[in-house]
């Protein structure tokens, strides 16, 4: 009998394990993944509660340490601590950066009215899509690669922040520094739509505060001495609405207004908070200039504007496209078609893409209702997403 050479050293990882085997590996661990996600969701972590977020990050750190990662906290006094986990790899390549956040928009106690539950092939719960399932995908993809190759085929850095939902002020510098040392950034934010498109373009985001000062007066006795800040603000809001240019992907939304003290007093103060979204990099400076050059209609009123475009748009650069092409090829090997989308919301991927580091966003869970009562993920998509992530870590 001819002896087959079954114990020869493994081939290159590209051919030793067919794609279907990889997918199967995750399919077998689907319930475990759901379990991990459930445990993450059940540790509530609203951005504004450091204590709660730290509890969640400690749990996540332990999970990564358990699979051999070197976990290190970047302490923050105001927000929760940020978590960096480094994994060494077989090669000396630059690491690939897996980026995400564990903070959510849901206040402590939300679980009481919005419990984490499974049914109809879905898992519901606060932050399940945005983005606790993304954290679980990181864990399982790293673990899988270790089990397929004995050790990770290349270095991987995981960075999870505590303040993404409130603008990432305290984590941004670290995110950018880590991205600069990495060959690519894979962002595990939720995917887009029911088919789980990845995000190859994101709008930039800004927030401005417009403060109007007028002159208070009794509306009955001294009407003509008053200069209404509310009236002035109303005119400014219309002027701001005229800056919207949908074709350009430029939108401004006055989402909050306040002003006045009493119904019979001409308002001395009024403010508006403006959400700005831009599709093109160069619109950041342009819209900033236009907002700062607003002039009062009533010269006896004063305007004060503060704020900035905080996240630049993630443009569909060639680096982004090449990552997307790699991801599509991996999905095809697994028997499904990956699509891409341009979205209005920003993420920390905007920072890294803004530095010119190839970034692919929306690699996380598939579902709907981020930030809403019906937030859920589709359980059957988890193995596909994990296999996609593992494949990308190997090939970028």
DSSP tag of 171: T
Q: How far is the CB of 297 from Zn ion (least distance, A)?
A: 39
Q: Which of 53, 37, 63, 189 is nearest to 124 (CA)?
A: 37
Complex with Zn ion: residue 83 or 131, whichever CB lies closer: 131
* 103 is a contact residue toward Zn ion (CB under 5 A): no
Q: How far is the CB of 131 from Zn ion (least distance, A)?
A: 5
DSSP tag of 189: S
Complex with Zn ion: residue 130 or 283, whichever CB lies closer: 130
* 63 is a contact residue toward Zn ion (CB under 5 A): no
Q: Which of 4, 286, 322, 315 is nearest to 184 (CA)?
A: 322
Complex with Zn ion: residue 100 or 214, whichever CB lies closer: 100
3-class secondary-structure state, position 86: strand
The residue nearest Zn ion at its CB is 130
DSSP character string of 278-315: ESSTTHHHHHHHHHHT---SSTTSEEEEEEEEEE--B-
* 130 is a contact residue toward Zn ion (CB under 5 A): yes
Q: How far is the CB of 236 from Zn ion (least distance, A)?
A: 32
Complex with Zn ion: residue 130 or 375, whichever CB lies closer: 130
Q: Which one of the spans 126-134, 227-235, 289-297, 327-335 is the region binding Zn ion (CB under 5 A)? A: 126-134
Q: How far is the CB of 171 from Zn ion (least distance, A)?
A: 13
* 99 is a contact residue toward Zn ion (CB under 5 A): no
Determine the Cα–Cα distance for residues 53 and 55; give it in Å rounded to an integer.
Answer: 5
* 348 is a contact residue toward Zn ion (CB under 5 A): no
Q: Which one of the spans 5-13, 26-34, 124-132, 174-182 is the region binding Zn ion (CB under 5 A)? A: 124-132
DSSP character string of 10-63: P--HHHHS-HHHHHHHHHHTHHHHHHHHHHHHTS--BTT-HHHHHHHHHHHHHH
Q: How far is the CB of 57 from Zn ion (least distance, A)?
A: 15
Q: How far is the CB of 235 from Zn ion (least distance, A)?
A: 36
Among positions 246-275, residues that touch Zn ion (CB under 5 A) are none
Count of residues near Zn ion by CB under 5 A: 3
Determine the Cα–Cα distance for residues 291 and 293; give it in Å rounded to an integer.
Answer: 5
Determine the Cα–Cα distance for residues 199 and 42; give it in Å rounded to an integer.
Answer: 27
Q: How far is the CB of 106 from Zn ion (least distance, A)?
A: 12
Phi, psi of 298 (to 5 degrees): -100, 115
Determine the Cα–Cα distance for residues 140 and 64; give it in Å rounded to an integer.
Answer: 10
Q: Which one of the spans 113-121, 189-197, 310-318, 376-384 is the region binding Zn ion (CB under 5 A)? A: 189-197
The structure tokens listed for 168 are 């990432």
* 131 is a contact residue toward Zn ion (CB under 5 A): yes
* 189 is a contact residue toward Zn ion (CB under 5 A): yes
Q: By CB under 5 A, name the binding residues for Zn ion.
A: 130-131, 189
């Amino acid at each position: 009998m001819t002896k087959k050479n079954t114990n020869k050293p493994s081939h290159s990882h590209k051919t030793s394990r067919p794609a279907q085997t990889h997918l199967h590996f995750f399919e077998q661990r689907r319930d475990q993944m759901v379990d991990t996600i459930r445990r993450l969701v059940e540790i509530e972590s609203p951005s504004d509660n450091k204590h709660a977020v730290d509890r969640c990050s400690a749990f996540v750190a332990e999970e990564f340490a358990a699979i051999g990662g070197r976990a290190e906290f970047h302490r923050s006094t105001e927000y929760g601590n940020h978590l960096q986990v480094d994994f060494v790899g077989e090669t000396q390549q630059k690491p690939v950066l897996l980026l995400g956040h564990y903070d959510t928009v849901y206040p402590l106690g939300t679980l009481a009215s919005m419990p984490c539950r499974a049914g109809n092939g879905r898992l519901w719960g606060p932050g399940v899509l945005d983005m606790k399932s993304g954290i679980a995908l990181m864990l399982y993809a790293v673990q899988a690669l270790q089990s397929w190759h004995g050790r990770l085929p290349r270095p991987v850095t995981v960075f999870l922040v505590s303040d993404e939902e409130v603008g990432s002020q305290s984590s941004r510098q670290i995110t950018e520094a880590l991205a600069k040392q990495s060959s690519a950034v894979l962002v595990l934010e939720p995917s887009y739509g029911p088919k789980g498109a990845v995000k190859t373009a994101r709008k930039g985001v800004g927030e401005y505060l417009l403060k109007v000062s007028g002159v208070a007066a009794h509306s009955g006795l001294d009407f003509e001495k008053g200069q209404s800040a509310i009236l002035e603000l109303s005119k400014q809001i219309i002027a701001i609405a005229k800056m919207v240019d949908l074709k350009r992907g430029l939108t401004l939304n006055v989402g909050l207004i306040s002003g006045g003290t009493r119904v019979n007093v001409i308002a001395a103060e009024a403010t508006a908070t403006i959400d700005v979204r831009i599709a093109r990099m160069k619109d950041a400076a342009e819209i900033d200039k236009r907002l700062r050059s607003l002039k009062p209609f009533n010269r006896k009123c004063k305007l004060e504007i503060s704020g900035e475009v905080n996240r630049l748009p993630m443009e569909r650069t060639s680096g982004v496209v090449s990552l997307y092409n790699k991801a599509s090829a991996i999905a095809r090997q697994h028997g499904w078609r990956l699509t891409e989308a341009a979205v209005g919301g920003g993420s920390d991927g905007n920072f890294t893409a803004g530095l010119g580091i190839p970034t692919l966003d929306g690699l996380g869970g598939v579902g709907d209702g981020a930030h809403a009562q019906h937030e859920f993920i589709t359980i059957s998509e988890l193995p596909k997403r994990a296999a996609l992530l593992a494949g990308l870590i190997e090939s970028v």
